[in-house]
Amino acid sequence: MNIREEPLRFACEGEMLFGILARPEQPAGLGVVIVVGGPQTRIGSHRQFVLLSRVLAGAGFPTLRFDVRGMGDSSGEKRSFEQITPDIAAAIDTLRTACPTVERVVLWGLCDAASAALLYVEATRDARIAGLCLLNPWVRSAATLAKTQVKHYYGQRLLQREFWTKLFTGRLNPFAALGELWRKLGQACARPEQPLGFQERMARGWRHFPGRILLILSGNDYTAKEFLEYAAGDASWRGLLEQNGVTRCDVPDADHTFSSQKWRNSVENACIDWLKRNE
């Protein structure tokens, strides 16, 4: 299907945001807003969001990707993913104005943008949001990081011959090495910080979200591992991954940003299949 790309400029709390709408020839009633997180712009690492938006529009789904306040070409001060709910709201309004056929919207986010999408639905209960497409959601705190490190790094190291050889031949200071492991264990077992952290608000957003969720996880990514650890161990996340309406897709070997065409294609195909099923 032919698509057309249009630059859009829209306001958010006194700042000017820039985005690109990929418009299909015959737009579906379902549109996509790509939320950008982390140190990225609407283009995405190695142009992932540009290429994704073209593929989604090619399948009939109008897709808007945009720079939040303080990022890329948009004006204003930089802010964290916990503070971009107004930016997401402005983008949804803009997509619906530019593409009046769009009635329902899917929020698509990678890493802390996935977290921002959950925080958006938690804060707004926006009835226009039909689905969430979440890739490698970000739940990091000192405790989750330490837990993942203990399990995936130290766990591996304890099984490695090299670690013990180094320890016994004195090339590794045993007190420092074991002290570090001990410290990490302490951090890993610490109680999560009070009051309601963003991770709990994400869980609440997920639990009460009436639409569909597509969870895409990279096989070779710390952030994804941390998310799984957290969701498995934290009370607020109990049962959420198994909840009705949740589809999980694992991309084996993929790194955090899907930095290869084959991994990007897996993501694109998974998204299109899921969007078509939820159209």
Partner 1 sequence: MAAEAFFLPVAAGQRFCLYYAPAGETRAVFLYLHPFAEEMNKSRRMAALMSRRLAEHGLAVLQIDLAGCGDSSGDFGDASWQAWLDDIAAALDWLRVRHDAPLWLWGLRSGCLLAAEAARRTEVAANFLFWQPVITGRTFLQQFLRLKLAGEMLGGEAKGVMATLKQRLAAGEAVEIVGYALSPALAQGLESATLAPPNRPGRLLWFELSSRADATLAPASQKCLEQWQAAEFSVASAVLPAPSFWQTTEIEEAPALIEATLAALQT
- Helix (H) or strand (E) run with residue 181 in it: helix 174-189
Closest CA to 219 of 248, 183, 176, 182: 248
Q: Of the listed pieces 1-9, 94-102, 211-219, 244-252, which binds partner 1 according to CB under 8 A?
A: 1-9
Question: Which one among 23, 42, 140, 184 touches partner 1, defined by CB under 8 A?
Answer: 42
Q: CA-CA distance, 254 to 262, in Å (whole number)?
A: 9
DSSP annotation of 171 reads: S
Q: Which stretch binds partner 1 (CB under 8 A): 64-72, 83-91, 117-125, 210-218?
A: 64-72
Out of 29, 58, 72, 86, the residue judged to bind partner 1 by CB under 8 A: 72
Lookup: tokens for 185 = 């264990």
Q: How far apart are CA 117 and CA 109, in angstroms?
A: 7
- Out of 12, 71, 113, 270, which residue is the one contacting partner 1 (CB under 8 A)? 71
Minimum CB–partner distance for residue 18 and partner 1 (Å): 6
Instruction: Give yes or no for residue 25 binding partner 1 (CB under 8 A).
Output: no
Give me 125's structure tokens. Answer: 């209960």
**Interface pattern 207-246 for partner 1 (x via CB under 8 A):** ----------------------------------------
Whether the Cβ atoms of residue 133 and residue 214 lie closer than 8 Å to each other? yes
- How many Cβ atoms from other residues are within 10 Å of residue 240's Cβ? 18
- Binding region for partner 1 (CB under 8 A): 5, 7-9, 16, 18, 20, 39-48, 50-51, 70-75, 78, 257-261, 264
